[in-house]
Chains A and B, each alone.
Chain A
Amino acid sequence: MKIEIKNEEVRSEIIQRIEEISGENIYKCYQCGKCSAGCPSADEMDLLPNQVIRNLQIGKVDAVLNSRSIWVCATCYMCWIRCPRGVNLTSLFEACRLMTLRQNLDQVGLKEAIKESEEMDIPQIAIISLLRKLTS
């Protein structure tokens, strides 16, 4: 599949905003893949952590914002700790999530989530975390 690299997408405003919020320079990443290699959530991700940042580097921000990966991230910081270039990928993921969250739309229904969690016996702290991540 061929994708088109577009001038207006590369370093677009929204990507610059993601960099600003996270305080990270996405072009520091040289794509070694060490983040993906050590990520405990990588198996559940549709884009590996290094692919998330790669998409941002070439301006494909929609691919990132529509991916499961940024929501699957457990914010364990393993990627950042081992990154040879010191890219705080966890912050970058958080900034990507904020791009959606700041639209102030509820991504989950509060009632259903609580009901579901009771059935599945999910700890309370997970519910709070879920609500923080997915509701405004």
Chain B
Amino acid sequence: MNKRIGVFICHCGLNIAGTVDVDALREAVGKIRNVVYVKNYIFLCSQPGQEMVSDAVKEHKLDGFIVANCSPTLHEKTFRTIAIKLGMNPYLVEVANIREQSSWPHSKQPDYATKKALKIIKGTIKKLERNIELYTQRVGLTKRALVIGGGIAGIQAALDIADGGYEVLLLDRKQSIGGHMAQISETFPTLDCPQCIMTPKMTEVAQHPNIKLYTYSEVEEISGFIGNFTVKLRQKARYVDWDKCTGCGECIAKCPSKPLSEFNRNLCKGTAIYRDFEQAVPSYPVINKEACLYFQKGVCRVCEKVCPAAAINYEDKDIIKEEKIGAIIIATGYDLMPIQALGEYGAGKYKDVVDGMQFERLLASTGPYAGNVKRPSDQKVPESVVFIQCAGSRDPETHYPYCSKICCMYTAKQALLYKHNVHHGKAYIFYIDIRSNGKGYEEFVQRVQEEEGVVYIRGKVSKVFKRGDKLVVWGADTLTGQTVEIETDLVVLASAMIPSTGSLNLASKTRLATDKFGWFSEAHPKLRPVESVTGGYFLAGTAQAPRDIPETVAQASGAASKVLALFSNEYIESDPVIAQVDPEICNRCGYCESVCAYGAVKLNPKTRIAEVNEVLCEGCGACAATCPSGAISHRNNSRKQIFDMISVATENYDQITTKFDK
């Protein structure tokens, strides 16, 4: 029980003092039992403010203190560090949040705000009186990272960690790493092709001694906690022995089965035994069982006959591998929404209404028409192309409310590349706003408008339909206030970005939080953008939200630096403000286990008594609130403390006269 409590009231400039009568507050707090010292200060978080607190603790022999200021997420650490320096247990320092919880929300009722601030401080004093000294726990860690997703985000993160001297497993569910960036024709605003700028990085991954590639593999199961994960990976049956395969491609050349090519976004045919693209890393192929004649009809085995290395193995099975991991980077990327949902644009009905990624493949030199733009329906060179932006994005009513961020730029780029490809062709872009806020982006859009002769029309398209072999586009030009009709050969929809297929499944396996669209949630939108809410998981690239390549790469390096910082420790210190179980009271019901979002509370398989994994527990308190027998409590948030605080909160307000009272 703390008997010598100090209270420091911060004015926060006028943030608090502008609303709360801080002098009346100080006087009232001074009268509370066990409070031996009260002091007001304009900015407690300033250097002199901190020194003032430090001096007062020594001078008045305080055995615990309260800072009444802003949210504990901001300065709790500041003042607990002061306590550590003074030799006081940091858990005897509490924050009474009188800014976010009083002065800000009640700025128009200063009298009420003052009284509420007093209650908040009084309640916190009650809590502090029963606080006990807590100590962090130390556990070791495995200095080995898993990067899930081998697009440009995963590649960059893996390379940075590997260069830092730690082992990395790079996982991709496709045959090759490369992700969507490998599918793109050229990148804005510099017009580099991914073959030029991305394949060197892919090769570096393949050659790096610290990187272990797991392609054509998926996460089966993840258990454990920060620094100490156990991950089961399913390496899907490849039907090709990659130890024997030389990557010569003879099998691919001779394969008679021709399913649609996923890499080319179903615009042309591939083969049943395939690698994603020519520069695939690794370059060894796999067999698509669903398309393979041998697997489906029992005849063929051509690949086996032509393989000079005898690498084909029709008996191959999925392999589950278990790996010990210390940190995990989620780099699962994005997909484009299925355009079939955009019925008014004839998507899915007309072959010549394509999405942005299909048009990338039409432009790409490795694409279905070797970089000569042709219509998918009849391979005619399109005399004109209409681009429709915000197809499904910025559309809260029927599709997605958010801006997909990259479409303004890639549409401008695609229109430019089309004009370079078909010199006499006309390109029209329907837009609502042009968002070109990146280095060199606005200049690029200006170039597309001024020099490339692409016509921008400010308005949205309402309908696309067929007339003869042409597509008719009905739109509006809101700048002249007229409705417009354009007859064209090809329509490209800049369809909304959505989280990649399978990311929800991964979210449930990792218990990571996502927003309602499935984008992985960061720990703080501004200050902790590459960390997830759960310790040990980091986020890179479009797994988190739509973003372009430069941002993705920067974020991937950021996530990698977080992993490297973690790995520079010999052990992990865990926050002791977590749940604890009284085994004498636990009635083995298991409710705690079912409510725990982090998998931290488990019933002991033998005794069936609840046990808390102290590293995994994030201290949310859900189990303590659920426990029907009262066996689980939250350290320094015991039932007694909570009831004490409730008593204070439900007292009458009229115990203080402020300058606002008449």
Residue of A nearest to B463 (CB): A38
CA of A42 to CA of B344 in the docked complex: distance in angstroms? 18
Residues of A within 8 A of B390 (CB): 32, 84
Pick from A38, A47, A48, A50: contact of B474, CB under 8 Å: A38
Residue of B nearest to A50 (CB): B478
CB B573 to nearest CB in A, in angstroms, measures: 49
Instruction: Check if B398 is an interface residue, CB within 8 A of chain A.
Output: yes
Residues of B within 8 A of A82 (CB): 344, 462
Size of chain A's interface in residues, with CB distance under 8 A? 22
Residues of B within 8 A of A85 (CB): 395-397
0/1 string, A103-121, CB within 8 A of B gives 1 = 0000000000000000000
Residue of B nearest to A80 (CB): B397
Query: If the complex has contacts A30-B432, A48-B476, A82-B344, are A36 and B483 also in contact, measured as CB distance less than 8 A?
Result: yes
Residues of B within 8 A of A30 (CB): 394, 432
Pick from B394, B395, B398, B459: contact of A36, CB under 8 Å: B459
CB A67 to nearest CB in B, in angstroms, measures: 12
Instruction: Check if A25 is an interface residue, CB within 8 A of chain B.
Output: no
- Shortest beta-carbon contacts, A-B, top 6: A38-B462, A33-B476, A86-B397, A37-B462, A33-B459, A84-B395
CA of A32 to CA of B484 in the docked complex: distance in angstroms? 13
Residues of A within 8 A of B399 (CB): 84
CA of A78 to CA of B481 in the docked complex: distance in angstroms? 18
Residue of A nearest to B458 (CB): A33
Residues of B within 8 A of A100 (CB): none
CB A37 to nearest CB in B, in angstroms, measures: 4
0/1 string, B438-480, CB within 8 A of A gives 1 = 0000000000000000000011111100000000001111100
On whether the beta carbons of A33 and B398 are closer than 8 Å, the reply is no
On whether the beta carbons of A51 and B394 are closer than 8 Å, the reply is no
Interface of B is mostly: loop
Which among A31, A51, A86 has the greatest number of chain B C-beta atoms within 10 A?
A31
Pick from A33, A83, A84: contact of B478, CB under 8 Å: A33
Residue of B nearest to A48 (CB): B481
Name 4 extra pairs, CB < 8 A, besides A37-B463, A37-B474: A33-B460, A34-B459, A37-B461, A37-B476
Instruction: Check if A39 is an interface residue, CB within 8 A of chain B.
Output: yes
On whether the beta carbons of B432 and A86 are closer than 8 Å, the reply is no
On whether the beta carbons of B481 and A34 are closer than 8 Å, the reply is no
Residues of B within 8 A of A33 (CB): 458-460, 475-478
On whether the beta carbons of A51 and B396 are closer than 8 Å, the reply is no
Residues of A within 8 A of B478 (CB): 31-33, 36, 48, 50
On whether the beta carbons of B398 and A84 are closer than 8 Å, the reply is yes
CB A69 to nearest CB in B, in angstroms, measures: 11
CA of A85 to CA of B394 in the docked complex: distance in angstroms? 8
CA of A36 to CA of B463 in the docked complex: distance in angstroms? 11
A-B contact count (CB 8 A): 71
On whether the beta carbons of A37 and B475 are closer than 8 Å, the reply is yes
On whether the beta carbons of B397 and A37 are closer than 8 Å, the reply is no
CA of A35 to CA of B483 in the docked complex: distance in angstroms? 10
CB A128 to nearest CB in B, in angstroms, measures: 30
CA of A43 to CA of B477 in the docked complex: distance in angstroms? 14
On whether the beta carbons of B460 and A37 are closer than 8 Å, the reply is yes
CA of A86 to CA of B395 in the docked complex: distance in angstroms? 9
Residues of B within 8 A of A38 (CB): 344, 462-463, 474
On whether the beta carbons of A84 and B476 are closer than 8 Å, the reply is no
CA of A42 to CA of B394 in the docked complex: distance in angstroms? 24
Query: If the complex has contacts A36-B476, A84-B396, A85-B396, are A51 and B462 also in contact, measured as CB distance less than 8 A?
Result: no
Which among A30, A34, A86 has the greatest number of chain B C-beta atoms within 10 A?
A34
Query: If the complex has contacts A33-B460, A34-B462, are A48 and B483 also in contact, measured as CB distance less than 8 A?
Result: yes
CB B28 to nearest CB in A, in angstroms, measures: 44
CA of A8 to CA of B477 in the docked complex: distance in angstroms? 30
Q: Please report which residues of chain B, range 369-406, place their CB below 8 angstroms from some CB of chain A when the two chains form the complex.
A: 390, 394-399
On whether the beta carbons of A39 and B394 are closer than 8 Å, the reply is no
CA of A36 to CA of B395 in the docked complex: distance in angstroms? 17
Residues of B within 8 A of A42 (CB): 483
On whether the beta carbons of A50 and B462 are closer than 8 Å, the reply is no
